[in-house]
Structure formats: structure tokens, C-alpha cells
Chain A
Amino acid sequence: MATAFEFAPAIALFPLAAFVIALAFGKYMPKKGALAGIAATAASLVFSLWAFVTVAGGETYHETLYEWAVGDPTSEAGVQGIEFTFGILLDPLSTLMLVIVSLIALLVHVFSLGYMNAEGETGLPRYYAELGLFTFSMLAFVFADNLLMAFMFFELVGLCSYLLIGFWFRTESAPSAAKKAFLVTRFGDYFFLLGVVAIAATFGTLQFAGPESFVDAAADAIDGEETLFGFGAETWVTITGLLVLGGVIGKSAQFPLHTWLPDAMEGPTTVSALIHAATMVAAGVYLVARMFGYYALSPTALAIIAFVGGFTALFAATMGVVKDDIKQVLAYSTISQYGYMMLGLGVGGYVAGVFHLMNHAFFKALLFLGAGAVIILMHHEQDMWKMGGLKDKAPVTYYTFLAGALALAGIIPFSGFWSKDEILYDAFVLGLEDPVFGVAYAMALLAVFFTGLYTFRMVILTFHGEPRSEAAADPHPVGPSVTFPLATLGVLALVAGVANLAPIAKLTGMDITYLEFWLDGEYGVVDGLTYTAYTETIGYPAGEIVSEQATLLIAAGLGLGLAVAGALTAYVLYSGPEPVRHTEKLGSVYGVLRNNYYQDEYQVWLARNLTLPVARGADRFDQGVIDGVVNGVSSVSLFGGGGVKRLQTGVVTNYAALIMLGFLALLLVFGLHGGWFL
């Protein structure tokens, strides 16, 4: 009887096949390759679910399948004999993620039928091929069993997002945004790769799990108080962990490498859904979760993760408040939400972080697809100020979008509430003990308010009030390929929170924190990759106010209250048939927010006004000095030749004289030297 695990590679290979088919034959296929993609992602989903069920049945899978490059251990001492392999690690975390990714990918494919095909786009085979490659890369990244494989597919994910963001390459802005996305994440990946190299060179292994893993090796090194590359083991773990984190910050769009994400809205909205919910951006946070055991060894690294996460959450949320483009708002919300996840992981809330990752995948995909539907409705208009009143004309879109918005804002009982609350709770109890985490928590908490504000600002401006343009008054209809994914995700956004009702569990004592059990190895388990193991390694103290339940209620109340406050503020400010912008109230702050704290400006300045002039200077130096020396040598030689040939005056008497002079010179030198005249 074949088991699900034997087919594990197929989970990723189906979309790869779809990529090849769509690229080669998409032109000739009905729907231009969409069907291949849908079939492939559906198959991936089926196999993912099968694997998920198998893991639920208590089995896990960790196998090296392919030796990519093999060192020769016989001739090389130490880590140079390392083998670089491809393998599959199917544990609770990765199977969960596989399901999420393949599900979202499937829905995006289906939605694309309505969004891309129906709109008569050109280049559809390319589009579907790239989607397939994107899905393939992400799935392979998810089930990678070692850091190098993870890095490789991490990079491929970056490539695919480049290609898809730049899908409309005939415009000026899309290629620019694509370039920016790749370049900024590449900058992060530079650190990631350095981290991979450093970890490999230090521990001689890159495995995530098992006794041969670098996590165990690092733990041993710390226990043994070894010195690695001139640093104490823990310091070195921190350094390497932070290097890898560079890649995470780039991909998950954390401050300061978040600037690419809003620009990435230049891609088709479906692509945005995929990038934000399940692939590109999720990859970063997933990686932290994947190698959480390693970060658990370094409190410093975790603190930095938490702090960056908290700061990004607030930072991005404030910018989201002033955006007019519906996709821009969603983009900043993504940055902000991933900040939460980082915070959750940083404070040791492994379950909370993964939980939010899952929920976010559903509701953010929903929101983006919803936004896509809105854009279809609006005949490709994205400015919210030109919308309004769509609520009645597109009820499915509206209600599903609303579900997503409620989840995003974290309103009970939508899924977002449960996961965000858990993150905030974890941060809160830690923040009570440690002021660094306290600050991170405070920022994240404040961000909750802004989240509610921008979310409902978006909902109200888009769907409520009166139509503010002709397009809004007469929307384009949407088909079932649009509404089906929306409905699916809408349901998920509502109910996904059930997976881990931690507050209720804590209050009532019921064993209903399924996700925690799942991640803690109640079902299938790979040694060391459990929540409990991580928590033990970190050993964070948990503060409380009065009692655990009270603390829980305080935290939840603060979060929910602020979210509702934000939503209400939005309602107050923007409801009504003719909402006003309220920008003047913000004064100069508006400019700062509107310009995204000038983050783009300084990064562009770095590229354009610093790097480029330096490069031009180097070029001038190269042409002038280095090449100048080369050409100078040749000029001097020829000039010398010009001098030498002047000896040849053409007058034979001169020759006789010169011959005699030369002869005399020889005579004098050698005669004197040899003593002939004595």
C-alpha cells in the first residue's frame, strides 16, 4: 500500500509540470494553460491533504532524496566533507503549510479564470506558467528538510514574484516594481546566503531536523562552550541566525526592507493574493518557524525578531491609513500582519505565530481576491475614492470581503481575532517581565487600532455610501470563478479560528487548542520540532496580572477594544454618502505617512545618488587611471621609438661618426673595466 509520503515530491512536481505545459503548449490550450494549473494545484492539494491526514495519523517523514553535491569526507577533515542534499521533511508544520499553500494556489488559479481570462489579457500562457512555477517553488520550499534547499526555493520564489509582478511589462511601472521587489529581497537574501554558508561551515550540516541537524549541533556547541570562528558559540548562533533573518526581513517585508511590497501591487491582483497570502511573503515567516529551534537558542535573536515585528506592525499600519488605492491599503496591512507574526515568534509564541500565518493566509487571500473582484467590478479602477455603494450591487463580494476585513481587524469571532489575540497575549505576558518585549507589545497593540481604522476605512469607502464614479454606478458583473473562491475563503476566514481557541481553552479548561496539539506533536512528530521543545529551550518567564485568566482577559480586552475603536473611528470619519478625506487634520504628519516615512526616498537615494555616482566614479577611474596606464605604456613606447628612429639621420657621414662613437663608448667601458690601457 502506497503511503502519502511516497508521493510527497509530487506535491511540488505537479505545479512544475503545469509550468512546463503552460509554457510550451499554453498557447494552444483552451483557457491558455489555466486548466493545467488548476488541475495541478488541485492534485497538489489532494496530496497535501493526504500527507496532512497521514501526519495526523501519527507518522512523519524525513528523507534525503537527492544528493545535490557531495563532499568527499575521506580527504577532507571537518565540515568540508559536507553533503548538500535535497530532502523532504513532512512534519505537522510543513504539512499544514502545504495544505494552505496548495489551497490558496488552487483558489487563485480558479479566480484567475475570471480575473485574467475573462478580461482578454495577452500573455496568459506565461501567466499560468509563472503561477505554476511560483506554486512549485513555494511548495518545495515548504517541505525542504534543510536550509540550503530552503534557500534555493526561497530564491526561486523571489524570481517568480519578479516575473509575476512584472507581468504587465509593457508599462513603465510594473517592471520597475518587479525589479525593486527582487532587488530589495535580494539584499535580504545576501544575508540569508551568508548565514547558510556560515551555518554549513560551522556545523557541517544544514538539516532542520534529526540528530544531524545544525540546531542540535548548535545546542551542543553552546553547551560545550565552544569557540566558533572566534566567537562564543551563542554569539555565533546569534550572528548566523540574524544573517538568515536578513532573508526573512526581505521576503516578509519587514522594516527596513518592506519598501518593495507596496510597489508590488503593480502585478495582477491575483498575483498579489498569492504573494501576500501564501507564498513570497509567507516564506519569510515560515522560515523562522521552520528553524525556530535555532532561534530558540539565541535570546538576542528572538528579541530582535520580536522588536522588528512589533515595530513593523505599527509602522506599516500607520501608513495604511492614508492610502487611496485599495490594493495599497491591503499591501500595508500585509506588512503589518507579518509584523505580528514576527512578534509572535519573537516572543516564543510559536503556535501563535503559525496560527496567525494560517489565518492571515486565508483572510488576506480573501481580501485580495475580493479586491480583485472589486477591480473587475470597477473596470480596473483601484482608487477607493472613486468607488462606493458596491454593497448592493455585488453582495457576494461585499459579504466575503467584509468577513475578511473583520478577520483582519481582529474582531471576535473571526479567525484573525484568535490568532492576533494569542500573539498579543504571548507578547503581553513576556512584556510584563522584560521591558524590551514590553515596548514591542505596546507598538503591536497600538497597531491594532490602526488596523481597525484602515480596514474599515477601506470597506466603507469601497462598498458603502453612494457610487462616486460611473464605473461604480454600473459595475461589471463577476462570474462564478470569482465568487467561488471568495465564498470558500470567506467561510475559512470566519471559522479558521476554531483551530486554536486558546483563550477559551484557558478560561474553560477544554482541550480545544488543536493547532497547539498539532504543532506540539500530539499527532505525528519529528523529534525536537515541537512547541514544548522550543519553549523549554527558550525558557522565557511568563508574567501575569492577578491570575492567568485575568491576564488573558485583560490582553484580549485591550486588543479587541482597540480594534473596535479603530473600526468605529473609521465609521465616524468615512460613513455617509459623501465621505471626506480628513487629511488636513493630520497636518504635516499626512505628508510623512503619505510618503511612507520617506523610506523609499532614502533607498532610492542610496541606489541613485550614492551607488550610481560611486559606480560612475569607478568607471572614470578605470578608464582614466587603470586603462590610462595601459595606453600610456604603449604611447611612451611609441614615443621612445620615435626618438630612436631619429638616430637614423640619412646622412652617411653621421653614421660613420655614430659608429665610431658607439665603438669608442664600448672601448672606454670595457677597456677601463678590463684594464687594457695599463
Chain B
Amino acid sequence: MTVPVEYYVLLSLALFCIGLFGVLTRRNALMFLMSVELMLNAATINLIAFAFYHGNLTGQVFALFAMALAAAEVAVGLGIILVLYRNFRDVDVTVPSTMRW
């Protein structure tokens, strides 16, 4: 049985929106990061589904790359969150707002 590609797209779109919702509402830096990862994964779902749909592997390869890059991004992100905590004693992303306007 083949699931039509539209469903995958809807799924990914939903995932993307969930991630986005998290980005907009979560104040914890880690949660923010995880929400972004959700959005990335939404894209990955798309890529794989479309690769399947188009019958070429480019999308799947790119999905692998995307995952790897997401991991790297998390690594850098965690580092930054670490120094954030060191400086602000908090991981709330709304706290560092000394620079504005």
C-alpha cells in the first residue's frame, strides 16, 4: 500500500508548525533548539517523501546531510547555551536582552 505524497506533506507541514509554535512560545533555550530541530525534521520528512515520489535518491541523500548538519548545529548550539548559562545564570532566551533598539 502506498501512502499518497500529499499526506507526507501535510504531516511535515504539521510538524513544521508544531516546531514553529515551540519556537514562538518556549523560553527555554533548549526547548527552542528542540523546536528548531522539529522544523528541520519536517523538512527531512518532505525530502524523503518527495524522493520516493520522484523516484530519485537525491532527496534521501540530502536528508542524510540535513541530519548531520542538524547534529552539528546542536553541538554549536549547546556550546552557546552553555556559555549563556555561565554568563546569565539562566537558559531563558528572553533574559539576554541587554542589547536592543
Contacts and interface: CB of A to CB of B under 8 A. Distances in A.
Interface of A: 645-646, 648-653, 656-657, 660
B87 interface: no
Contact of B100 (A650, A653, A656, A660): A650
Interface stretch (B4-12, B43-51, B55-63, B90-98): B90-98
Contact of A650 (B20, B23, B101): B101
B23 A648 contact: no
Given A649-B101, A656-B23, A660-B24, 19 more contacts: A646-B101, A648-B100, A648-B101, A649-B97, A649-B100, A650-B98, A650-B100, A650-B101, A651-B93, A651-B97, A652-B94, A652-B96, A653-B23, A653-B24, A653-B25, A653-B27, A653-B94, A656-B24, A657-B24
Interface string B11-37: 000000000100111010000000000
A660 B25 CA distance: 13
Contacts of A650: 97-101
Contacts of A653: 23-25, 27, 93-94
Nearest to B26: A653
Contacts of A660: 20, 24
A198 to B, nearest CB: 66
Contacts of B98: 650
A660 B96 CA distance: 21
A652 B99 contact: no
Given A657-B24, A660-B24, A651 B94 contact: yes
A78 B96 CA distance: 82
A660 B20 CA distance: 9
B22 to A, nearest CB: 10
Contacts of B24: 653, 656-657, 660
A650 B94 CA distance: 8
Nearest to A656: B23
A650 to B, nearest CB: 3
Contacts of B93: 651-653
A645 B101 contact: yes
Interface in B50-101: 93-94, 96-101
Give the size category of B's interface with A: 10 to 19
A231 B99 CA distance: 77
A660 B24 CA distance: 9
B28 to A, nearest CB: 11
A634 to B, nearest CB: 20
A653 B94 CA distance: 7
Nearest to A650: B100
Contacts of A652: 93-94, 96
Nearest to A652: B93
Interface of B: 20, 23-25, 27, 93-94, 96-101
17 contacts: A646-B101, A648-B100, A648-B101, A649-B101, A650-B101, A651-B93, A651-B100, A652-B93, A652-B96, A653-B23, A653-B24, A653-B27, A653-B94, A656-B23, A657-B24, A660-B20, A660-B24
A352 to B, nearest CB: 90
A651 B20 CA distance: 16
A656 B99 CA distance: 16
B13 to A, nearest CB: 13
A34 B97 CA distance: 88
A151 B22 CA distance: 90
A653 B20 CA distance: 11
Nearest to A657: B24
Contacts of B97: 649-651
Contacts of A648: 100-101
The 6 closest A-B pairs by CB, nearest first: A650-B100, A650-B97, A645-B101, A651-B94, A652-B93, A656-B23
Contacts of B25: 653
Contacts of B96: 652
A156 B94 CA distance: 82
A657 B93 CA distance: 13
A650 B101 CA distance: 7
A653 B93 CA distance: 7
Contacts of A656: 23-24
Nearest to A645: B101
Nearest to B99: A650
Contacts of B23: 653, 656
A236 B99 CA distance: 78
A648 B99 CA distance: 9
Nearest to B36: A656
A204 to B, nearest CB: 71
Contacts of B20: 660
A194 to B, nearest CB: 62
A660 B94 CA distance: 17
A660 to B, nearest CB: 7
A652 B97 CA distance: 8
A646 B100 CA distance: 8
Contacts of B99: 650
A410 B94 CA distance: 108
A656 B101 CA distance: 16
Contacts of B27: 653
Contacts of A651: 93-94, 97, 100
Contacts of A649: 97, 100-101
A644 to B, nearest CB: 10
